[in-house]
Amino acid sequence: MTADDELARLKVRLAKKLRGFESGLPEGCDPWTLIGGTADPKLFPVPELVLFALRNVMGFRWSGVGEKVRWSVYATVEGEPFVFELRKFGFTIGHRQEAPPAIFKRVIGQLSSALSLLEPLLLGFAKEQIAVGNLTMANRMSEFDNRYSYFRDLADFAFAPRLQVTGPIVLPTTEEDEGNSKKKGKEKKKSKGKKPKGKKKAQAAFESFSAGLMHRMNGAIQRQQEGYFASGAMVDAFFSRLEHRVLLLRAFRGRPLDPGGFTAFLGMTWDERLKEVVDLAGGQGRDALLGRLRDVKATIRNPLSHGGVENDNGAFYFHMPRIGAVPANLSRYRGRLKMSFFPIADSTHAEMCALFDDVDAMLSTAELEQPNEFVRAGIDPQYDRESLKLYADALADGPDAVEALIDHLGHEWERHANMDY
């Protein structure tokens, strides 16, 4: 069955759902006299489907961009005029102020129900378009970066040494100490109740000392625990940011995609994608850097994200007769990240931060310096052949051309977002 045949069948089914809908407005009706408010986004989460159903499939009259309006579709239902519009502040259904509430409710119900017929057809088409790279990806780098920085700052604060000012603790244990204490207290007024003397006084001081020591120890343990929690969240945030960043850089490097290439890229592991973007043969220890990143992924990130289960069975201990329980991964990760009572100690956190900084430097210098400028500017990448060539041409012409293209794309995005047509 051809695409035209599928559209013809869909038109018949939509016509049944939209019984009573007619194209255009009643004669003499001025659309500017109609009022309207933002429709419930739960009923119309993708307003563009309204345009596709009424304009592309049903052939209803419509108009293009206007002031703060991207598109308008005109319909009449039982003599009542309606305008369906995508405005700056959302999808709007315009109608007469005197329109009966019942017919307005009916229009919303029919239209919302009709859109459900589109999804089976469009889901398959969407997969085809993604496979060939006809897509735009939202650049959320600043969001992922802020999340990573937030948890890193929390961990840095928790692991930082604290300045504690404490006075000396005196433990009087001899009669001379006790006598000296008595002399110093002669000029003071006697307080009510008996004061501990001799051994009792020494015991009280020792208990006070012990309590202070335990308080400091508990505080140190609490800070280690807080640092562990924050650093673990930082690691997860870093790898999420890394995967997002690599997807963005894949487009902004400007390299063409083969048919189905984007789907194949998504199917790669995170380190395979990284190799597609970074020239590991470029020296500067890049290959070793990737190896250290794999270590963190295997020993820290994966166990914390997958219920403590490591890829190499490191969470399990197998039973050796007459020996006991032995780690299932044996010495595979010997000599890598230092571990402690808490899975992430302050030294481990410092090592990971240094590693992450090195990775960030690798992804923003040398051959990736200019592609990273698109990422930093928040440009939403497109993966179609024409857009990839546009990025490649700008990279070939140098930093000034990259800056000019970023300014142009940023201006176009702002104009589209604000609907300043």
Q: Per mean pLDDT, which range of 123-127, 169-173, 328-332 is the poorest? A: 169-173
**Torsions phi, psi of 112, nearest 5?**
-65, -40
pLDDT for 157 equals 94
DSSP 19: T
Question: Confidence class of residue 413 from pLDDT cuts 50, 70 and 90?
Answer: very high
pLDDT at 319: 80
Residue 73 neighbours by CB distance under 10 Å: 21
Is residue 296 a contact partner of residue 355, using CB atoms and an 8 Å limit? yes
pLDDT of residue 194: 56
131: tokens are: 């496979």
Six-digit token string for 413:
């995005």
Longest CA–CA separation in the chain, Å: 112
Question: pTM, whole model, 2 decimals?
Answer: 0.77
Q: What is the pLDDT of residue 314?
A: 56
Residue whose C-alpha is closest to residue 182's, from 202, 198, 199: 198
> Residue 181: which residues within 8 A CB-CB, separation 6 or more?
172, 201
Give the tens place of pLDDT for each residue, 254-306.
999 998 899 999 999 999 999 999 988 766 688 899 999 998 998 888 877 76
Contacts for 133 with CB less than 8 Å, ≥ 6 apart: 257, 261, 262, 383, 384, 385, 388
Which of 273, 246, 234 has the alpha carbon at shortest distance from 375? 246
Stretch 350-368: mean pLDDT, rounded? 94
322 — phi, psi (to 5°)?
Answer: 65, 10
- Cα 4 from chain centre: 40
CA gap 315, 289 in Å, rounded:
25
- CA-to-CA distance for 283 and 81, rounded, in angstroms? 68
Nearest CA among 285, 305, 288 for reference residue 243: 305
Q: Which of 92, 17, 79 lies closest to 51, judged by CA?
A: 92
User: Is residue 54 over pLDDT 80?
Assistant: yes
What residues have CB less than 8 Å from 334, skipping those under 6 apart? none
Collapsing DSSP to helix, strand or coil, 70 comes out as strand
Q: Which residue has the tokens 């329109």?
A: 99
pLDDT of residue 198: 63
Per-residue confidence (pLDDT) for residue 93, from 0 to 100: 95
Please compute the mean of the pLDDT values over residues 317-330 and round it to a whole number.
76
Distance separating the N- and C-terminal Cα atoms of the chain: 39
Angle between helices 385-397 and 399-418 (to 10 degrees): 140
Residue 55 tokens read as 């304009």
* Stated length of the chain: 421
User: What distance in Å separates the CA atoms of residue 271 and residue 294, rounded to the nearest whole number?
Assistant: 8
| CA torsion through residues 395, 400, 403, 408, sign | negative
The pairing of beta strand 324-327 with beta strand 317-320: antiparallel
Instruction: Please list, residue by residue across 289-323, b when 16 or more beta carbons sit within 10 angstroms of its beta carbon and e when fewer do.
Output: bbebbebbbbbbbbbbeeeeebeeebbeeeeeeee
**Helix ranges restricted to H, 18-64:** 48-51
Strands 90-95 and 35-38: antiparallel
- Whether 326 and 312 have beta carbons less than 8 Å apart is answered as no
pLDDT, average across residues 220-247: 92
